[in-house]
């Protein structure tokens, strides 16, 4: 059955569909970045509320700034903005049709987007525009020199960026006496609300300092921590949906069954009752972010590089490998989890058990190569802060040193079996010769202060790193992991 409003009633019985009348929905949210994560996350939470007869005035209108989004929009338009979401545990896959999206203003049509954003019914503007969408420099600060921002600073009435569009609409609302909407980032960035405020007010300052003051004083930017592994859609997913569920959808979304959203409750114009579908509202998301960055993201890095060097393709296969799985277990238990500050209401060992289960889920098809990507940006966020804590607390850092050595060894560009590793970092060309030189001069690797800061000067860490790197080159990944595990 081809998915559309007219065929909803003919869908196979095991495909859940909206239990509400979509004619009765009205708009409340404008969303930028109608990609996969949004449809597995905010759109799904709202669909669940709507199925309970709640949040019917919080329908979603989409928008975007990139011309390549037109293709996805055309697919969604053909199915009246309906999407099939397939939620997969290791053993069970469930398909449901999400009906919470009402419209999608054509990407790039700035005037139409500003007009829609200016109407009082829009009370929340939400974002999943990727980490790269926030105009941050290498130190995660607002980068005022980006040409797109400079263009929006010059011509605020015809903006190109998401932030330029939001500002243009806020100005219309302010002049019309319409209260400003809340701006809610759902991107995977620590303190994403603060970062969004920094970029929005940064651009506003380039346009008009008084207006920037008004934005800073009147617009709310709740921070939130989001989590749900959602790979990109390929023909494989389209085919699986047709074969297993009998539904033809031009752009379905497949994701894991787990989801988490911890959010600060700052919504001056109100919000959907998300707490009724599992969203946790807290005063401060920082402890939750630290937990995720350390136990989940540093955990991903821990399995990524040994698995990459051993030639393992999928994350669930790495988890099934005795040595890699045991390395994760030991490192988390002895050097990572003890360095995660307490999180209200969460037992860290239970959180880690869930992560172990998620990583081992064979249905997700997540690749080791994806986890190995961009270490030069990820190591400083996920691993280096834990090493810094270990240096300060004087406790064990052997496993962290081994993780760092594995990343260095990976960047030399060859697996243990001698197969080439294709470039897998924006700075690959810089990293590779340093990784090769580090084989005999390990200090050269840690001297990359943009990644390691000053921790290369700590003798205990530098020595442990050098020892493990030497073992990796002489004895290979498998024997080195075994040595660590003994
Ligand atoms: P996606 O590629 O499916 O969608 C990204 C959307 O952002 C697209 O609509 C794209 O056009 C738009 N976009 C990209 N760069 C932009 C820019 N510079 N300005 C404006 N729009 C831009 O990706 P996705 O899987 O939906 O992930 C999007 C984001 O969601 C991630 O970067 C991450 O921050 C967050 N997230 C994703 C996952 C996941 O597992 N996929 C999990 C948690 C959080």
Q: What is the pLDDT of residue 240?
A: 95
Q: Can you tell me the mean pLDDT for 365-390?
A: 93
Position 219 pLDDT exceeds 90 = yes
At 12, list the tokens: 């196979």
Phi, psi (degrees; rounded to nearest 5) at 62 = -95, 165
Decide: residue 192, CB within 10 A, 0-12 exposed, 13-18 middle, 19+ buried.
Answer: buried
The pLDDT value given to residue 453? 92
193 by DSSP, 3-state: which?
Answer: helix
Averaged over 154-160, what is the pLDDT? 96
Q: Identify the band that residue 132 occupies on the pLDDT scale cut at 50, 70 and 90.
A: confident
Please state the atom number of ligand 1 nearest to the C-alpha of residue 34.
9
How far apart, in whole angstroms, are the C-alpha atoms of residue 391 and residue 446? 15
**How many whole angstroms separate alpha carbon 485 and alpha carbon 330?**
8
DSSP string, 283-344: S--HHHHHHIIIIIIHHHHHHHHHHHHTT--BHHHHHHSHHHHHHHHHHIIIIIGGGSPPBT
Which of 128, 231, 251, 378 to mutate to test ligand 1, by most ligand atoms within 8 A of the CB atom? 128
The binding-site residues of ligand 1, defined as CB within 6 angstroms of any ligand atom, are 33-38, 64-66, 69, 128-133, 162, 187-188, 226-230
The pick from 34, 37, 377 for probing ligand 1's pocket by mutation, whose C-beta has the most ligand atoms within 8 angstroms, reads: 37
Ligand 1 centre to CA of 134 (Å) is 11
72 CA: nearest ligand 1 atom: 9
Residue 221 scores a pLDDT above 70? yes
Residue 139 pLDDT class (50, 70, 90 cuts): confident
Q: Token pair of 347, please?
A: 């037992």
In 3D space, the residue among 3, 45, 37, 32 whose CA is nearest the CA of residue 263 turns out to be 45
CA of 225 to the centre of ligand 1 (A): 15
**Please, which pLDDT band fits residue 395 given cuts at 50, 70 and 90?**
very high
pLDDT band at 377 (very low <50, low <70, confident <90, very high): confident
Euclidean distance between CA atoms 472 and 299, whole angstroms: 20
Q: 3-state class of 234 per DSSP?
A: coil
Residue with the two structure tokens 């990459």: 308
pLDDT band at 93 (very low <50, low <70, confident <90, very high): very high
Question: How far is residue 484's CA from residue 113's CA, in Å, rounded to a whole number?
Answer: 56
Among 32, 33, 74, 378, the mutation site with the greatest number of ligand 1 atoms within 8 A of its Cβ is 33
Predicted local distance difference test score (pLDDT) of residue 365: 82
What are the two backbone dihedrals, phi and then psi, of residue 416, each rounded to the nearest 5 degrees?
Answer: -60, -35
Q: Whose CA is nearest to atom 2 of ligand 1?
A: 35
The Cα 273–Cα 279 span in angstroms is 9
Tell which residue, 346, 316, 470, has the closest CA to residue 406.
470
State the distance from the centre of ligand 1 to the C-alpha of 37, rounded, in angstroms: 7
> Collapsing DSSP states into helix, strand and coil, what is residue 463?
helix
Pick from 287, 297, 300: nearest CA to 327: 300
Integer Cα distance of 31 and 285 in angstroms: 22
CB atoms within 10 A of CB 267: 18
**What's the CA-to-centroid distance between 189 and ligand 1, angstroms?**
12
Cα 326 versus chain centre, distance:
26
Atom in ligand 1 nearest the alpha carbon of residue 66: 11
pLDDT bucket at 138, cuts 50 / 70 / 90 = low
Residue range 292-316, pLDDT digits in tens: 999 999 999 999 999 999 999 999 9
Tens of pLDDT, residues 29-87: 999 999 999 999 999 999 999 999 999 999 999 999 999 999 999 999 999 999 999 99
Given a contact cutoff of 8 angstroms between Cβ atoms, the answer to whether 196 and 221 are in contact is yes
Which residue minimizes the CA distance to atom 14 of ligand 1? 129
pLDDT score at 141: 86
CA of 464 to the centre of ligand 1 (A): 38
Q: How far is residue 169's CA from residue 125's CA, in Å, rounded to a whole number?
A: 11
Average pLDDT (247-256) is 97
Closest C-alpha residue for ligand 1 atom 4: 35
Closest-lying ligand 1 atom to the alpha carbon of residue 129? 7
- Separation of CA 98 and ligand 1 centre (Å): 19
How would you classify the pairing of strands 260-264 and 224-227? antiparallel
Cα of 129 vs centre of ligand 1, distance in Å, is 5
Q: What is the pLDDT of residue 137?
A: 79
What pLDDT score was predicted for residue 300? 96
| Per-residue model confidence (pLDDT) at position 225 | 97
Which atom of ligand 1 lies nearest, measured to the CA of 255? 40
Give the contacts of 104 (CB within 8 A, at least 6 positions apart): 34, 61, 62, 63, 73, 76, 77, 81
> Could you tell me the distance, in angstroms and rounded to a whole number, from the CA of residue 38 to the centre of ligand 1?
8
Centroid of ligand 1 to alpha carbon of 399 (angstroms): 32
Strands (E), 54-123: 59-63, 83-88, 93-98, 101-104
Examine the pLDDT at 131 and tell me if it is beyond 90: no
* Host H or E run for residue 256: strand 253-256
The CATH architecture to which 286-485 belongs is: Orthogonal Bundle (1.10)
CA 185 to ligand 1 center in whole angstroms: 11
3-state secondary structure of 155: coil
Check the CA dihedral 273-26-215-35 and report its sign: positive
Q: How far is the CA of 86 from the centre of ligand 1 (A)?
A: 18
Its ipTM equals: 0.99
What end-to-end distance do the CA atoms of the chain give, in Å?
56
Q: Is 97 helix (H, G, I), strand (E, B) or coil?
A: strand
The number of the ligand 1 atom at minimal distance from the alpha carbon of 107 is 11
Q: What pLDDT is attached to residue 9?
A: 95
Q: Tell me the CA–centroid distance for residue 474 and ligand 1, in Å.
A: 41
What is the model's pLDDT at position 165?
Answer: 98
Domain limits, the chain: 5-282, 286-485
Strands of 138-237 (E only): list them: 182-185, 224-227
Phi-psi region of 48 (alpha: psi -120 to 50; beta: other; left: phi over 0): alpha
Tell me the CA–centroid distance for residue 128 and ligand 1, in Å. 5
Q: Does domain 5-282 have CATH number 3.90.1010.10?
A: no
Question: Which residue has the CA at smallest separation from atom 13 of ligand 1?
Answer: 129
pLDDT tens, 447-479? Answer: 999 899 999 999 999 999 999 999 999 999 999
Nearest CA, atom 35, ligand 1: 187
Ligand 1, atom 19: closest residue by C-alpha: 133
Residue that the structure tokens 């190109």 belong to: 160
How would DSSP label each residue in 395-461? ---HHHHHHHHHHHHHHTSB-TTSPBPPP-STTHHHHHHHHHHTTT-THHHHT-HHHHTTGGG-HHH
Closest ligand 1 atom to the C-alpha of 228?
42
The rounded percent of the chain whose pLDDT value lies above 70 is: 100
Q: What is the mean pLDDT of the chain?
A: 96
Tell me what pLDDT residue 320 has.
Answer: 98
């Amino acid at each position: 059955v081809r998915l559309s409003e007219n065929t909803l009633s003919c869908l196979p019985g095991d495909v859940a569909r909206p239990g509400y009348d979509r004619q009765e929905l009205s708009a409340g949210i404008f969303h930028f970045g109608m990609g996969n994560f949004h449809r597995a996350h905010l759109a799904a939470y709202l669909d669940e509320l709507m199925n309970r007869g709640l949040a019917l005035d919080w329908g979603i209108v989409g928008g975007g700034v990139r011309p390549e989004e037109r293709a996805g929009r055309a697919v969604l338009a053909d199915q009246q903005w309906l999407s099939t979401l397939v939620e997969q545990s290791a053993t069970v896959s469930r398909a449901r049709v999400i009906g919470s999206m009402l419209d999608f203003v054509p990407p790039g049509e700035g005037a139409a987007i500003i007009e829609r954003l200016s109407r009082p019914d829009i009370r929340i503007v939400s974002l999943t525009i990727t980490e790269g969408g926030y105009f941050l420099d290498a130190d995660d600060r607002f980068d005022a020199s980006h040409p797109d921002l400079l263009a929006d600073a010059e011509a605020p009435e015809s903006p190109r960026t998401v932030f330029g569009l939001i500002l243009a609409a806020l100005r219309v609302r302010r002049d019309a006496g319409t209260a400003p909407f809340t701006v809610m980032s759902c991107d995977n960035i620590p303190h994403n609300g603060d970062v969004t405020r920094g970029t929005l007010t940064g651009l506003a300052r380039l346009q008009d300092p008084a207006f920037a003051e008004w934005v800073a004083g009147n617009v709310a930017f709740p921070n939130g921590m989001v989590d749900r592994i959602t790979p990109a859609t390929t023909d494989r997913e389209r085919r699986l949906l047709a074969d297993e569920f009998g539904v033809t959808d031009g752009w379905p979304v497949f994701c894991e069954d787990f989801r988490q959203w911890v959010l600060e409750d700052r919504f001056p114009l109100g919000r959907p009752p998300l707490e009724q579908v599992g969203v946790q509202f807290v005063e401060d998301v920082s402890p939750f972010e630290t937990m995720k960055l350390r136990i989940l993201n540093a955990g991903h890095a821990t399995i990524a590089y040994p698995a990459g060097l051993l030639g393992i393709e999928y994350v669930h296969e790495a988890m099934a490998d005795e040595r890699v799985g045991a390395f994760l277990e030991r490192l988390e238990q002895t050097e990572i989890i003890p360095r995660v500050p307490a999180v209200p209401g969460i037992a860290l060992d239970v959180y880690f058990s869930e992560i172990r289960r998620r990583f081992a889920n064979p249905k997700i098809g997540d690749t080791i190569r994806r986890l190995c990507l961009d270490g030069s940006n990820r190591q400083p966020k996920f691993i280096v802060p834990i090493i810094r804590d270990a240096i300060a607390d004087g406790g064990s850092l052997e496993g962290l040193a081994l993780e760092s050595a594995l990343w260095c060894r990976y960047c030399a560009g060859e697996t243990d079996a001698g197969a080439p590793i294709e470039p897998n970092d924006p700075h690959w060309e810089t990293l590779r010769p340093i990784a090769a030189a580090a084989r005999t001069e390990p200090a050269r690797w840690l001297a990359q202060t943009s990644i390691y800061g000053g921790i290369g000067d700590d003798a205990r860490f530098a020595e442990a790193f050098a020892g493990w790197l030497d073992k990796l080159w002489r004895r290979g990944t498998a024997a080195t992991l075994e040595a660590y595990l003994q």
